[in-house]
């Protein structure tokens, strides 16, 4: 039987803990008991964890042997901010697909009200990513960065940087994702509803980004984010 996986809130040496609502869920809903084993993600590895203490707001584990897991490619997703319900869905699904970092970006066509409210949404986005990471049995959740302007996001460290553009008619994403030349990871930039403006695309090109398309149809922002992550993670796993 596959053990349920949790991502620890606290890790210190060979000890870990779940806190707050997550501990309460384990105690009251799942009726966990002292001595029961779970897989515990520490952020850098997964280890077998045995419950040593149960309280409504804190469950403590002793950590045992490390459990082998598949390494994920470093995929950074620049996600222009759009309607929060759809954006949350994109964050959840891209986490399940293995994205390692999500950077919310304030683009020219980002609604001003959404841009203003986005800073207060980061904690919720992080919670969604953590839950999705546990469900998909990852070592840990992706990093969810604080929202930044596009000008601040253009100079990422990854060698392979791709902007998804509706105006790109010739080059598909699958044609430019090359695992052999992107060992340091890949960055994917997905625009808001209405897409990137021409000025924004020029800024991408001037800072070394490559344009690519996901096909002939026009996708919603959340669909594009999920599709791009799926294509990239699949190609890197071949």
3-state secondary structure of 140: coil
Residue 213 pairs in a beta bridge with 172
Q: What is the CATH number of the domain that holds 48?
A: 2.40.240.20
Whether 170 and 207 map to the same domain: the answer is yes
Rounded mean pLDDT of 208-228? 93
pLDDT higher than threshold 90 for residue 122: yes
pLDDT confidence of residue 163 = 95
pLDDT confidence of residue 11 = 93
Among 16-25, 34-43, 62-71, 78-87, which stretch is predicted with the lowest mean pLDDT? 62-71
pLDDT confidence of residue 135 = 87
Q: Give me 147's structure tokens.
A: 């929202």
- Cβ neighbors of 52 (< 8 A, separation 6 or more) are 34, 60, 61, 62
pLDDT confidence of residue 3 = 75
Whether 25 and 121 map to the same domain: the answer is no
pLDDT higher than threshold 60 for residue 99: yes
Whether 92 and 160 map to the same domain: the answer is yes
User: How many domains does the chain divide into?
Assistant: 2
Higher pLDDT, 126 or 181: 126
Give me the domain span that covers residue 13: 5-67
Whether 16 and 134 map to the same domain: the answer is no
Share of the chain above pLDDT 90, in %: 67
Among 93-102, 114-123, 178-187, which stretch is predicted with the lowest mean pLDDT? 178-187
């Amino acid at each position: 039987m596959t053990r349920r996986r949790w991502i620890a809130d606290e890790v210190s040496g060979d000890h870990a803990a779940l806190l707050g609502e997550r501990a309460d869920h384990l105690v009251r809903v799942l009726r966990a008991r002292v001595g029961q084993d779970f897989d515990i993600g520490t952020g850098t590895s997964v280890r077998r964890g045995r419950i040593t203490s149960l309280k409504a707001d804190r469950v403590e584990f002793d950590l045992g042997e490390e459990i082998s897991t598949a390494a994920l490619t470093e995929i950074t997703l620049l996600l222009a901010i759009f309607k929060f319900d759809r954006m949350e869905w994109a964050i959840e699904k891209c986490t399940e697909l293995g994205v390692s970092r999500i950077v919310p970006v304030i683009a020219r066509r980002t609604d001003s009200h959404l841009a203003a409210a986005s800073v207060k949404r980061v904690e919720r986005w992080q919670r969604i990513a953590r839950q999705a990471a546990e469900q998909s049995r990852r070592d840990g959740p992706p990093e969810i960065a604080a929202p930044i302007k596009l000008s601040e996001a253009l100079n990422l460290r990854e060698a392979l940087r791709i902007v998804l553009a509706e105006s790109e008619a010739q080059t598909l994403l699958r044609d430019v994702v090359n695992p052999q030349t992107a060992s340091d990871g890949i960055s994917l930039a997905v625009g808001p509803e209405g897409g990137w403006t021409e000025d924004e695309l020029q800024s991408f090109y001037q800072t070394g980004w490559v344009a690519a398309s996901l096909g002939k149809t026009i996708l919603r922002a959340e669909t594009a984010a999920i599709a791009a992550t799926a294509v990239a993670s699949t190609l890197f796993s071949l």
